[in-house]
Structure 1
């Protein structure tokens, strides 16, 4: 019953995140104007027929840019989190299970990355390679790689001597089979929570770098770029600043609630499954 109660907490934030992701995925199918087409004659106009949230400083449709901006932000966040997760989990499995130089390097190399402040490292790489979505994915993957590696390493060290692992090992299972079929399914909960945290943090950092002009390249839509553009015209059209800020705030809030719900639902100490 306790596990069911924890899983019920996931419905609202999980549904909202799924709705945002579905809207971003289906953005090309909606009958909306081109998000980068300018109409200077209608710049800074309020909500009207055909433009339900108005037009921005270049006359571009705000609703269209919000949906396409969600597509950009979420695609960068999920791509970087999944990339970091795949590599980090592999390094954590090697470091937690093995011994010798391979285990040492897989863990200590992550400590080197943690020595650099995340934002400064992101600014350095983006400055050297140039802004763009591909650069952002690379930067965010490196930033969130240590978190996955350290979580996986700690969980593997905690379960490697459990009875079910020793029993599988006694049956003659190879280390690769043991890690992928026995150990990994039993530590999937913390890794899943770490994945949700990384996605939420990546959305914030992507928007921040785009706001600073080091992320998505204009005129591509991005929530950070929308906030940056609306900041210059906030006195003439304050709603232009409200829409991207509200979308970013609600998305991050839903993701954080989803992280909390996953932690409670997957933690056996709280009665989760």
Structure 2
């Protein structure tokens, strides 16, 4: 339980600040002031100004809102589809597995970043395209983890006892099996969110993600790279935000897995 407090607090704080961005007394994140271009930290602009004179702190917080929205939404969509496919495939075996899990594994034949680049190039950049691409990329991961876990628990005594009481397959899957495989799925969710944040930032860095002048950590890194010799701190803030967010998410879901998994809860 102690392992859960720190990462949960960090992730909760990051998400809370991102959600509260419209309510915070921040300057307009897209308003330019060329006269203060590359200005250092000062009153009213605690992290300084970027290459166009925009407030860095404001763009950092609004960028967190953009990056986390895309990452969490894509992970949730991928989780819903992937877990459903994995449950059906693991429960029905043979034909069900072929139609569900084995079919979506085709996506895993393509390198994730290259596939994302291809789709974004064809459909055009934007948050909607990123959500679609990332959701498709992470469905196979959820499906495979769910499929393996269902195979491991479907023959357990508590499943057979529930079946003997007359429970339907739907009840068995979603009320008996699913809660007992929540631990690995939480870990998979954390990996999907963290990876989605990285890919979103990477595509935005390449100019294929969030469309400027909307704030994004990837766009901030891209802009700061060109001026890193004059203002190296501009590169530090978005990189630090990315690192802290991904690390906190992974630690949180590892702690949740250990807390919810009955095999580790006893130790």
Fold similarity call, TM over 0.5:
yes
Deviations 1:26-79 (A, max 9, x none): 001011110001111111111111111111111110000000000000000000
1:191 & 1:60 partners in 2: Cα distance?
40
1:114 aligns to 2:108 (yes or no): yes
Deviations 1:186-233 (A, max 9, x none): 111111121111111111111111111111010000000000001111
1:154 & 1:100 partners in 2: Cα distance?
14
1:128 aligns to 2:122 (yes or no): yes
Q: Determine if contact 2:183/2:258 at 8 Å carries over to the other structure.
A: no
> Bigger CA drift: 11-20 or 249-258?
249-258
Structure 1: 5+ residue stretches without partners: 1-6
Q: Determine if contact 1:266/1:272 at 8 Å carries over to the other structure.
A: no
1:10 & 1:63 partners in 2: Cα distance?
28
1:175 & 1:267 partners in 2: Cα distance?
23
- Residue 104 of structure 1 corresponds to 98
> Bigger CA drift: 14-23 or 101-110?
101-110
Q: C-alpha displacement at 1:151, in angstroms?
A: 0.6
Q: C-alpha displacement at 1:102, in angstroms?
A: 3.1
1:174 & 1:252 partners in 2: Cα distance?
39
Q: Determine if contact 1:264/1:272 at 8 Å carries over to the other structure.
A: no
Cα RMSD (Å): 1.3
- Residue 4 of structure 1 corresponds to none
1:124 & 1:101 partners in 2: Cα distance?
31
Q: Find 1:89's aligned residue among 83, 93, 101.
A: 83
1:222 aligns to 2:216 (yes or no): yes
Q: Find 1:252's aligned residue among 219, 241, 246.
A: 246
1:13 & 1:233 partners in 2: Cα distance?
33
1:242 aligns to 2:248 (yes or no): no
- Residue 38 of structure 1 corresponds to 32
Secondary structure in 1 aligned to 2:90?
helix
1:9 & 1:64 partners in 2: Cα distance?
31
Q: Find 1:210's aligned residue among 185, 204, 209.
A: 204
Q: Find 1:77's aligned residue among 71, 75, 99.
A: 71
Secondary structure in 1 aligned to 2:190?
helix
- Residue 138 of structure 1 corresponds to 132
1:47 aligns to 2:13 (yes or no): no
- Residue 3 of structure 1 corresponds to none
Q: How many pairs align? A: 267
Q: C-alpha displacement at 1:100, in angstroms?
A: 4.6
1:103 & 1:211 partners in 2: Cα distance?
38
1:129 & 1:221 partners in 2: Cα distance?
21
Q: C-alpha displacement at 1:260, in angstroms?
A: 2.9
Secondary structure in 1 aligned to 2:39?
coil
- Residue 26 of structure 1 corresponds to 20
- Residue 181 of structure 1 corresponds to 175
Structure 2: 5+ residue stretches without partners: none
Q: Determine if contact 2:18/2:62 at 8 Å carries over to the other structure.
A: yes
> Bigger CA drift: 182-191 or 101-110?
101-110
Q: Determine if contact 1:114/1:146 at 8 Å carries over to the other structure.
A: yes
1:252 & 1:221 partners in 2: Cα distance?
19
2:186 & 2:214 partners in 1: Cα distance?
31
